[in-house]
Each structure stands twice: as C-alpha cells, then as structure tokens.
Amino acid sequence: MKAYFILFSCVCISCATVRNEPLPNTEIWIAKFNERTLEVTDVQQITQHEGYDNQPCFSNDSKYLLYSSDQEGDGSPDVMRYDLASGTMTRITASPASEFSPTPTVNGRFTAIYVGKPAADGNAYTESQQLWEYDSKGKGLGPIIPATRIGYHTWLDASHVAVFVVGSEDGATPHRLVVYNTVDSSKIEIASKVGRCIKRAPNGLLTYVDKSDSTALKIIATAGDSQSVDTLVTLPKGTEDFCWMYEGTIFTFANGTLYGCATYNKPRTWRPYVSPYVKGTVSRLVMSPDSRYFAWVVKRSSE
C-alpha cells in the first residue's frame, strides 16, 4: 500500500472496550496547551456525570469533542458532543445499542463502534460489534466494512481505516491490527499482539503500540503493511496511550506526569512536563488538531 493521501485534518484515537463487567466510573478533563511556552493551563473537568464518560475525540476543526457516555446508567453508552467555545453538552445518539469511540469524519458525520447484544454464551465481543457510520444528527447508517469484533479504529485517509480486532478472551487468539479499504473491503494484516492505541501520525504513517514484550511497550510506525515498520520509542512504564502533536512530538500521561518525546530528535527521549494534578488513573490522552487543547480520561479513585 502506498503512503496514504491525507484528506482529514486530524484523526484521533478511537477506543471501544466492551466488557462483561460494569463499565468503569470515568470522567473527561480538558486543558489548554501553549505551544510556545509548553505550559498546560486552564484544567477543567467537563463531565460531571456519575458513571461512564470516555473515549474523547476532537473534531477536525478543533471546535468540539465527541465522547461515549452511559447517560442512562444501563451499560449502553451513547454519543455526546461538547462545544469548546460555549461549554455546552449535546446528546447525539439515543439508541438501544451501544456506541463507543465516536470519531468525527467530514460534513458533521462520525464513525463509532456499534455494539448490539452479547451472544448467548455471554461473550461481549459479538458479530454485532462493527464499525458504523452516523450522520450529523446521530442516525446510524450501518457498517462501513464487513469486519466484526472491532474494538478500536482510526482513519488514515478517506478510504482507509485501521481497526483493532479483538482476540479471544482466553488469550489464545491475540488482538490484531488490520487496515481496511472501505471502497472494495480489501484488507492488509499489519500486526498482532497490539495495544488499543492506534493513530495516524502527522506524516501520514500508521502508529500503534506493540505489546509483544509486556515489559517494554513500543510505539511502532508503518506505511501500511507488515514489512515497513519502524520502532519510534518505548513508552514509559505505566501507560499504553499516546497522542501526536502536528509537528511530530508524541505525548503520553504516565503515573500522573505528562511526558513528551520529539520524534524528529535523536536519541528519542521522554521529557517530563509540569502536569496538572488529577486524582485518579489517567488514560485516553488526545490532542486537538490545532494543538491548543488536551483531553484525557480519569478513572475515579475510591474515596
């Protein structure tokens, strides 16, 4: 596959995890980022909802944030929209199914992981777990590729999407990373034993976390096949999520500290930043396309 022709101004991580146990109690926080001073300021918790608020993703124009939220408390999340300028929340979907990892595309549309009812044997990863497209009003338009058991996704260009295919719960079949062509449904197997965080880098490459060595999780870059791979950097201990800044810096939140690694410098090393204090475990770090905002998820600590 040739290098991707980029049509989207930003593609962010898409994460959808479906469990047999209750969804975790999580909240979403945002903060401003000053590219010149490298300061993180104006930290605020934008969700005040008891229960599940997770998997944020910025719009391509950096004006709003989509996220998955269990508004009814029934374990069936819907898609919510947060307007950065006004601070207003809008519910986008209200379906009997579950929608995880909403990802803005173009013309107000978005994609998300659609999850129907679990199978009779209790397996949460069913044939109904697919990548769907939704219109600007939240109406489901159906699956866009034939694949099932999809847990996470990220767009590489207008017709190529990378998906995390969930393996077996006993671990006998590992999780896989696959790139699909949405025009003809062809696919390329990229890797197995991968992490949930998959992203398009600023240079158009697909980046993901290699978990083949559980003691050293590595961020890998590829042009879209299993052969052209490059190890960018090893993640700090205590994290498996990362995000990109447009100029080539990777950020991650590990053990309460924000770190950055400029991939255009060698050796590639992690630099700690002054980090906002947030009580709880941080995950799902994302950055807006204009690099003015961070958003992340905090799992509430037991009181």
Cα Rg, the chain, nearest whole Å: 18
Q: What is the pLDDT of residue 245?
A: 95
Q: What is the DSSP letter of 301?
A: P
Around Cβ 273, how many Cβ atoms within 10 Å?
16
Most confident option among 117-121, 219-223, 227-231: 219-223
Looking at mean pLDDT, say which of 21-25, 106-110, 161-165, 282-286 comes out highest.
161-165
Residue 16: its pLDDT value, please? 40
pLDDT score for 225: 67
pLDDT band, very low/low/confident/very high, at 124 (cuts 50, 70, 90): low
Q: What is the largest CA-CA distance in the chain?
A: 55
pLDDT of residue 86 exceeding 90, the answer is yes
pLDDT band at 5 (very low <50, low <70, confident <90, very high): very low
Distance CA 284, CA 293 (A): 14
Mean pLDDT of the chain: 87
**Residue 303 pLDDT exceeds 70:** no
Question: Residue 58 — pLDDT band, cuts 50, 70, 90?
Answer: very high
| 245 and 285 Cβ atoms separated by less than 8 Å | no
pLDDT at 43 over 70: yes
Higher-pLDDT residue of 106 and 242 is 242
Angle made by CA atoms 73, 143, 89, in degrees to the nearest 5: 40
Residue 111 confidence (pLDDT): 98
Q: What's the pLDDT band for 1 if we cut at 50, 70, 90?
A: very low
Q: Is the pLDDT of residue 2 over 50?
A: no
pLDDT of residue 186: 95
Average pLDDT, stretch 41-63? 94
Instruction: Go through the domains of the chain in sequence order and give each one's CATH number.
Output: 26-288 (2.120.10.30)
Give the helix/strand (H/E) hosting 28.
Answer: strand 26-34
Q: Per DSSP, what are the bridge partners of residue 181? A: 160
Residues above pLDDT 90, as percent of the chain: 68
According to the model, what pLDDT value does residue 14 have?
Answer: 39
Please compute the mean of the pLDDT values over residues 107-115 and round it to a whole number: 94
Sorting pLDDT into bands at 50, 70 and 90, what band is 128? confident
What values do phi and psi take at 130, rounded to 5? -135, 170
Residues 64-84 have a mean pLDDT of: 94
Report the predicted TM-score, pTM, of the whole model to 2 decimal places: 0.89
Average of pLDDT values for 40-50?
Answer: 90
User: Residue 125 — very low, low, confident or very high, per pLDDT cuts 50/70/90?
Assistant: low
